Structure 1
């Protein structure tokens, strides 16, 4: 199993390149921990929301990086 984040704009379109990380993680907990440490950098890079994928299948989608 491989877990990865899909980076998205506000409309849900995928963002790629531009120096965005392309990390994969061995489990969901590691992926979520990484996001908890890096969400501010992603937001500054233009990422508005993320989706967590397990082997290409969405675990959850459209999670905003903006604080409520």
Structure 2
């Protein structure tokens, strides 16, 4: 399965997942976009939300700071 995700790193509140009307998932995570920390946090979070192992989740494209 392939999904589109918009990541909002550095969230102050609880980590969350929201599905927008246009089918894009918005993920708010606490990790900051430094040295891949946000990417790893997104992988773990998405895996937990969808009930799969983290090694089954991949980021195929995106923007890294």
- Structure ranking higher in strand proportion: 1
Q: Same fold (TM over 0.5)?
A: no
* TM-score using structure 1 length: 0.31
TM-score normalised by the chain length of structure 2 = 0.31
* Larger RCO (CA within 8 A; separation ≥ 6): 1
